[in-house]
Amino acid sequence: MPRRDHDAGHLSPKMLQALRELNLECLDLLAVQSRTASSRGDFPLGKLIELWNGLDGAARARAIDYPYLLFNAGFADPRRWRQPAEPQISEERSEPYETFFTVPAAVQVAHHVFVHAWSAARERPTNAVLTLGMHPHCAKLIAAHTPVSLHRAIERHWTWLRPRWLDRPQIWQEMLLGGLEGGEARTSALIHGLRLVTAEITAATRKRDKHFGG
């Protein structure tokens, strides 16, 4: 897969603004969940959310200004998107994927993320792959949804929403410090994130190709 470090220049201002708005919603949601779970003392990224809460407006604007979504909703997993809103009669309705967010605000944020993903997959699938870490086959499956079936998918699977890179707190620290410091710190975080998203898609594609004998 070609290097993507400079592909942000190919995204429209509208797409970049949409990503900023979603990233802000997602980080605010993460902060709400962190406060709810603080009594357990084991919340992922909890200490870094303290850093987020301490950023001023300008630093927050920099911390969300990345050309990729900081959250994920199964966009690299085509199995989830094979008609997820229409289970067979015999299928159990229990969610087979781990739930991260439990606060009510997560439903609305997930709605915004799913709708953005659907719109991007229909209008600019290449950008959906890059900015959402979306598997190309997922882009086709998501784009095939009608507005009604998408709404049903959101109702049933909003719990798929979760932060990226929970096992890599260092990248979250880089992104937030990039917002705080700007300049080279932010550029370094941006490139690191782009490479991680690209690596995710490459790994998912290879796994699918191997599974189907490609």
Q: For 83-142, write each residue's pLDDT tens digit.
A: 654 544 444 455 678 899 999 999 999 999 999 999 999 999 999 998 999 999 999 999
Which residues does 169 contact at the CB level (< 8 Å), separation at least 6?
Answer: 44, 45, 48
9-18, 59-68, 116-125, range with the lowest pLDDT = 9-18
What is the per-residue pLDDT for 201? Answer: 81
Q: For 142-170, write each residue's pLDDT tens digit.
A: 999 999 999 999 999 999 999 999 889 99
Read off the tokens for 88. Answer: 């067979």
Which residues does 81 contact at the CB level (< 8 Å), separation at least 6?
Answer: 74, 138, 141, 142
What is the per-residue pLDDT for 38? Answer: 61
Q: What is the mean pLDDT of the chain?
A: 85
pLDDT beyond 60 at 214: no
Q: What percent of the chain lies above the pLDDT cut of 90?
A: 65
Q: Which of 208, 26, 69 is nearest to 135 (CA)?
A: 208
What is the per-residue pLDDT for 11? Answer: 85
Domain ranges of the chain: 7-85+98-211
Q: How many CA atoms lie within 13 A of 173 on its CB side?
A: 8
Read off the tokens for 164. Answer: 């990226």
For residue 8, name the pLDDT band (cuts at 50, 70, 90): very low
Cross-strand bridge partners of residue 85: none
